[in-house]
Structure 1
Amino acid sequence: MFNKPIIFFDGVCNLCNASVQFVIAHDKNDQFCFTAIQGELAKEVLPKFNVDLTQLNTVLLLEEGKLYTKSSAALRIAKKLNGAWPLLYGFIIIPKFVRDWFYNIVAQNRYKWWGKEESCWVPTSGLKSKFYS
């Protein structure tokens, strides 16, 4: 379906936008593409996975036809980054309900702690090829 894994992120969340920029900086092998959860691709693809687009507070990773959420998505993303970041994937041995409990605390407070924009972040012209609308 898609050539590369796609990271779906909250386009108005400052933490999420900073995370996308972090992934871009550490994705030296150009492995990921990105799209905002508020975008057209998300509206087209995510309902096929029974995702309620009005209830999202998580990063999503679509990889080889499988959708990963919350800590599982974050750890799978880290696994493909350059540097020491793949070591974080070792946390996958912790049960998902424990990992996601911590993830949910951050997700529920992300706007309060990092802020929110009025509109989605727009990538520079040099990065547009990494993004779906």
Structure 2
Amino acid sequence: MVVSVMPSEKAVVIFDGACNLCDGAVCVITRHDPNSVFELVALQSMQGRALLSQFKLTDVAMDSVILIKQGQYYLRSDAIIEIAKSLSGAPRLVKYVAFFPRVLRNATYNFIAKHRYRLFGQKAICQLPKK
């Protein structure tokens, strides 16, 4: 789902700061973002909560990675595909997931998101990687 909102200078990735899978994704983004396109924000942080409130995303936040880019927000598999488009190296190939129907992509995404703590574990503290 893509919804037009106010424009922003830098793309913001809002992620679950307590999830080990999300932490791994943040590390991949950090390593493969040579132009520093993304600002990474944990949804549990004050900034994350403020952005979620600003964009009226508090209901979907706990089970979705969210990308806010150029005045739009992207959820679930759309966010992952849009993030991949700006990455370098092998992670950029994830953008080709867009060839699958959204309903299939999001069903897979939702299944993994629902079981992410059980499958990948959970952290007590969120730490953003240093660039």
1:66 aligns with 2:72: yes
The partner residue of 1:111 within 111, 117, 124 is: 117
| SS of equivalent residue, structure 2 residue 54 | helix
Structure 1 residue 55: deviation in Å? 5.4
Q: Distance in 2 between matches of 1:60 and 1:122?
A: 16
Higher strand proportion? 2
Q: Could you tell me the percent identity over the aligned residues?
A: 32
The CA deviation at 1:27 is: 0.8
Q: Secondary structure in 1 aligned to 2:82?
A: helix
1:54 Cα deviation from its structure 2 partner: 7.7
Distance in 1 (alpha carbons) for counterparts of 2:41 and 2:107: 25
Q: Secondary structure at the match of 1:56?
A: helix
Deviation of residue 76 (structure 1)? 0.6
Say if 2:10 is the partner of 1:7: no
Deviation sequence 1:76-114 (CA, Å, 0-9, x none):
111111124333322223222211000111111110111
> C-alpha separation between the residues in 1 aligned to 2:74 and 2:105?
13
Cα distance in 2 between the residues matched to 1:109 and 1:32: 26
1:92 aligns with 2:95: no
Aligned-partner SS, 1:118 = coil
C-alpha distance in structure 2 between counterparts of 1:67 and 1:122, whole Å: 21
CA contact (8 A) 1:8 1:37 kept: yes
Q: Quote the RMSD (CA, aligned, Å).
A: 1.8
CA contact (8 A) 2:43 2:61 kept: no
Aligned length: 125
From 27, 35, 46, the counterpart of 1:40: 46
- TM-score, length basis structure 2: 0.85
Structure 2 unaligned spans of 5+? 1-6
- Distance (whole Å) between structure 1 residues aligned to residue 92 and residue 85 of structure 2: 4
Segments of 5+ residues of structure 1 without an aligned counterpart are 128-133
